[in-house]
Amino acid sequence: MLRMDYPVNTSIQLRAVLRALRKLRNLNQAEVGDILGVNQKRVAHIEGAPGSTSFDQIAKMVTALGGRLFIQTGESGASSSTPAPVKDVRKKQKPQHDW
């Protein structure tokens, strides 16, 4: 299958991408629902209003349609095909001692 990247910055753009992914796979909403374990009406809602849909459901649908999600920063020189490793930015906790 031809690789395509779809930059998404708004839920309106995500709506178009979800439909495009489904149509590339030649699936209707009922067939996607069968894959996801939901009904056609739920798939229509996810496609129509992705901004009110949980990230987990969006991720599950994208994956089921052969896509993948990743976050890309605006740093120059970053490859668009491979996401950069995520840096651990959590605060380091001091070791606790039982003294």
CA distance 39 to 36: 9
Predicted pLDDT of residue 31: 97
User: What is the rounded average pLDDT of the residues 83-93?
Assistant: 54
pLDDT of 88 above 70: no
Percent helix, percent strand, percent coil in the chain, to nearest 5:
45, 0, 55
User: What is the rounded average pLDDT of the residues 25-33?
Assistant: 97
Task: For 35-84, write each residue's pLDDT tens digit.
Answer: 999 999 999 999 999 999 999 999 999 999 999 998 888 875 445 555 55
Predicted pLDDT of residue 78: 47
CA distance 62 to 30: 15
Predicted pLDDT of residue 74: 82
- Would the pTM count as exceeding 0.85? no
User: What is the rounded average pLDDT of the residues 30-38?
Assistant: 97
- Following DSSP, what letter does each residue of 26-66 receive, concatenated? T--HHHHHHHHTS-HHHHHHHHH-GGGS-HHHHHHHHHHTT
Q: For residue 85, what is the enclosing H or E element?
A: none
- Closest by CA to 19, choosing from 50, 41, 59, 57, is 50
